[in-house]
Amino acid sequence: MSVVRKSPSAVTVFDPVARWTARAWALVAYLAVLATVAAIVLFAVRYQPLSAANFASGPVASSGSNTVQVGYENGGTFSFGFLIVNDGQLPVQIQSIQMTGQNQLLVPFRLETAAKRYAGSLVQGDPSLETFRPLTLAGADRRWIVVRTHFGNCDRFAAGSLETYTRFKVTYSVLGLTKHAWVPLPRGIRVDSPPDFACPTRSA
């Protein structure tokens, strides 16, 4: 006759301290990741590395240290240019640049760029200038921007009133976020609304 011996059942010991310690470390790791992500997002939201330099323009009526005054010429055009500069270390994609609106005395009709210029040409048809398209500026990089405008809308403004343009709006992307910023021009542009005899649409 054979005898079967039963081994004692295995007993699992529950350690509440070890379990709560593991949970605490997991929570610490989660909070650390969350804080890192939040810091990156906050940095990207506040990050604005763009500036402008090296202003140039077509003929002006007068020129001061901070502002040029442009004489309104019915049916005429006015061009100006500046460098847009990435003063930061991260690459920035410039999606659009808006200088003035369609209802102002200077009405934009074309935006042009030239690579690797530190002061630029404004001449129409210059082979170094090309139509603006979204572009990427590496850290410490810059690009020459030319704004083509024509005079218009004098009938919307009383004779002798004026507009001064001191900044431009940039839409750009950095670290996956699309942002908007107002960047000061190196020099302001002042345009005076003309008298009635120089604004046929006002006197009509």
Q: How do residues 35-47 score in pLDDT, each as one tens digit?
A: 666 556 655 667 8
pLDDT tens across 52-64, in order? 999 999 999 999 8
61 and 37 part of one domain? no
28 and 63 part of one domain? no
Exposure string for 94-131, b = 16+ CB within 10 A, e = fewer: beebebbeeebbbbbeebbbbeebeebbbeeeeeebee
20 and 81 part of one domain? no
Cα 13 to Cα 170: distance, rounded to the nearest angstrom: 64
Residue range(s) defining the domain that contains residue 168? 49-203
pLDDT by residue, tens only, the chain of 204 residues: 555 555 555 555 556 767 777 777 877 777 667 666 655 665 566 789 999 999 999 999 999 889 999 999 998 999 999 999 999 999 999 999 998 888 999 999 999 998 766 557 888 888 889 999 999 999 999 999 999 999 999 999 999 999 999 999 999 999 889 999 999 999 999 999 999 999 988 865
In a domain, 147, yes or no: yes
Reading the block at residue 196, the tokens are 């009635």
In the numeric block, the tokens 């690579």 are attached to 115
In a domain, 1, yes or no: no
132 and 121 part of one domain? yes
Closest CA to 179 of 74, 89, 94: 94
Q: What string of H, E and C letters represents the secondary structure of 119-139?
A: CCCCCCCCCCCEECCCEEECC
Cα 44 to Cα 27: distance, rounded to the nearest angstrom: 26
20 and 116 part of one domain? no
CATH of the domain at 189: 2.60.40.10
32 and 123 part of one domain? no
For the chain, what is the domain count? 2
